[in-house]
Amino acid sequence: MNTNQTVRDGYVGGVFSSVAAYSSAGSMPDCTRIVPVVLAGGSGTRLWPMSREHYPKQLIGVVGTDSLLQATVRRMSGFPAAWQVASDPIVVCGEEHRFTIAEQLRERGIGARIVVEPARRETAPALTLGATLAQADGGDAILVVMPSDHAIADVSALHGALDLAARHAQRGAIVTLGVPPRSPETGFGYIRVGAALGDGAHRIDGFVEKPAPEIAAQYVANGAYWWNSGIFVMRASVWLDALKSLQPDMHEACVAAFANGGSDGAVFRPCPHAFGRSPSDSIDYAVMERLTGANGVPEGVVVPLDAGWSDLGSWDAVWAAMDKDESGNVARGRVVFEGAVASYAHSEGRLVACVGTSNLVVVETADAVLVADRSKVQDVKGLVARIKAEHAPEADAHRKVRRPWGYYDSIDHGERFQVKRIVVSPGARLSLQLHHHRAEHWVVVRGTALVTRGDESFLLSENESTFIPLGIRHRLENPGKVPLEIIEVQSGAYLGEDDIVRFDDTYGRCS
């Protein structure tokens, strides 16, 4: 398979731009062309119950109206004019999140190229897929590699740091942004800052793991240790050459996965078999900690970032990143404080009232409520592990579950029944499917439904209903211009989501 042709065929129309349209390679010098690469494959649990494996924190609006992913992609807007920033960034993500990511970008009018990882292999293979795509037109762009789930308060300061980083990347260095520490944090890795390069940047002298509290305090007092932001800048060819030298097995697997991949509608899918051969490793471990600047290995450079950066790795970090009232409280949603101090409360629906609380976190969702001391929020990860071990659904999914055609909300359930509110976007349709263990009753409460049931098709309007017997092929579609809402009552011996046999599906999910 010709790699260039595969990519060009894979991204056309809608929110996704073609490489041919994107590149205009002859008119955009490689030395000033910047391609943002957003790594969106995480499934963090420290912000449970809002963040869950099937809908992680990068997809939710933790600190604003934009999701963290949307805010990350929009962050490159207004970059210094000396650089030619691609209008369609590369987003690398997993299969389970690609539809939501595409929809969120479409909502903000953002073009993007999405690469779907066949399996989780950490950030180094993900970046390698992005770098290979960026080079697919024969160019050698500078990559600005960003996690999709961080917050930046001062975007202009970020642009200044990235501008300096890109200049060092031009000459062949691999650059990371380091955050001068404000406090002795134990949840971050640190970069040991080396010799100054005369423009604010420094050589990297080493990396250190998340330290104990007393060691972290020493780092802050020393001044030569900066937090590792996880933001990197390098030329695509420099990354690929460094990986080939330092991690040849990973390089071979990722390049083969790309070369033997193909398009699937609006996304590019690397070859699963080839990608499965790749070792799993982070950018830091695989490459950054091995940079020497000698024997063909690039130099490692760190540029200071003083822009209100936060990795939002806990509810305490979310509290710290947000504006507070005169008592140090943060409220989101329907929240009332009475005599509360330094507390964070988030409501997704119900009224949350905090009376006399101090240093408390309260997060309410439709199916779970978290109450935690702010000093103990790092323990939420262990809590989620316990919930998962008990096979409770709240560990992985929300009550409201997004699908490529819309969403459903599980309103009620019992031993042999389940009630869902199903919302289908205009023009969308569910798969043609059947169930072996349940029957379904549908009542239209808004819009118009086109129903396929066995060999017949018919329309249902508001206040009309139908019955789908067990074992009958069926499909629900929205032929209208407003969202279709139905109430579905399921009944049967087994009501799990895996009791679906798909025969035809617009979104490539056939059984």
Q: Write the Ramachandran bin of 251: left for phi over 0, alpha for psi from -120 to 50, otherwise beta.
A: alpha
* Residue at a domain's end among 310, 327, 343: 310
Q: Which residue(s) pair with 302 in the sheet?
A: 176, 202
Residues contacting 429, CB < 8 A, separation 6+: 405, 450, 475, 476, 477, 478, 506
Query: Phi and psi dihedrals of 400, rounded to 5?
Result: -90, 120
* Residue at a domain's end among 349, 367, 389: 389
DSSP assignment string, 233-253:
EEEHHHHHHHHHHH-HHHHHH
* pLDDT for position 510: 65
Q: Residues 164, 131: one domain?
A: yes
Q: Residues 237, 100: one domain?
A: yes
**124 within domain boundaries:** yes
CA–CA separation, 451 vs 462, rounded Å?
13
Q: Would you state the torsion angle of the CA atoms of residues 490, 495, 496, 498, taken in this order, to the nearest 10 degrees?
A: -80
**395 within domain boundaries:** no
Q: Residues 140, 288: one domain?
A: yes
The whole domain housing 484 covers 400-504
Q: Residues 357, 481: one domain?
A: no
* Residue at a domain's end among 389, 416, 438: 389
* pLDDT for position 475: 97
Q: Cβ distance 254 to 240 under 8 Å?
A: no
Q: Residues 424, 378: one domain?
A: no
Q: Residues 183, 322: one domain?
A: no
Q: Tens place of pLDDT for every residue, the chain, 511 residues?
A: 333 333 333 332 233 333 333 333 333 334 789 999 999 987 778 999 999 988 999 999 999 889 999 999 999 999 998 899 988 899 999 988 988 999 999 999 988 899 999 999 999 999 999 999 998 866 799 999 999 999 999 999 999 999 999 999 999 999 999 999 988 988 889 999 999 999 999 999 999 988 899 999 999 999 999 999 999 999 999 999 999 999 999 999 999 999 999 877 668 899 999 999 999 999 999 999 999 888 888 999 999 999 999 999 999 999 999 999 999 999 999 999 999 999 999 999 999 999 999 999 999 999 999 999 999 998 999 999 999 999 998 998 899 999 999 999 999 999 999 999 999 999 999 999 999 999 999 999 999 999 999 999 999 999 999 999 999 999 999 999 999 999 999 999 999 888 999 999 988 776 5
* pLDDT for position 265: 64
**431 within domain boundaries:** yes
Question: Considering only CA atoms, which of 507, 454, 455, 448 is closest in space to residue 482?
Answer: 448
CA–CA separation, 276 vs 136, rounded Å?
21
When divided into structural domains, the chain yields a total of 3
* pLDDT for position 10: 31
